[in-house]
Amino acid sequence: MNLNSILIGSEDPQPLVEYYTKLFGEPGWSDFGYTGWQIGSGTITVGPHDQVKGKNAEPGRVIWNIETADVKSEFDRFVEAGATVVQEPYSPGDEESGLIATFADPDGNYFQLMSPMEPQ
């Protein structure tokens, strides 16, 4: 199996499209109200969903991650682009475990930058 994409449904996806375009650049596609970006080997897509209303009441329930070897530089780049910071870069354990930084999108969904982590 291979997890290849994440779809974020929204009552109003346009603010998400604008937000993620600032962070990831121009979308790779936009069709039928759905807009997406290729990030590494996976994709992130935002679009309308009739069962979603308002902001995410439990943003920590599902958190998606973007792996990067340089969390601090990418964190700074995201902040300059207007990202909403939930948690600045931190090490979840010892120094060898790398860094994680958490952000929120306009609907309150959480996503993270994280250092590559080796399976244990």
Whole-angstrom distance, CA of residue 115 vs CA of residue 14: 30
The answer to whether residues 35 and 27 touch, using CB atoms and an 8 Å cutoff, is: yes
Burial class (CB within 10 angstroms; exposed 0-12, middle 13-18, buried 19+) of 1: exposed
Beta-carbon contacts of 73 under 8 Å, excluding residues fewer than 6 positions away, are none
Query: What's the pLDDT score for residue 93?
Result: 76
Query: What's the pLDDT score for residue 1?
Result: 87
Query: What's the pLDDT score for residue 92?
Result: 85
Judge if pTM exceeds 0.95.
no
Tokens found for residue 74: 């990418």
The answer to whether residues 76 and 68 touch, using CB atoms and an 8 Å cutoff, is: no
Q: Cα 9 to the chain's mean position, in Å?
A: 13
> Average pLDDT over the chain, rounded to whole?
94
Q: Which residue is it, tokens 């910071």? A: 85
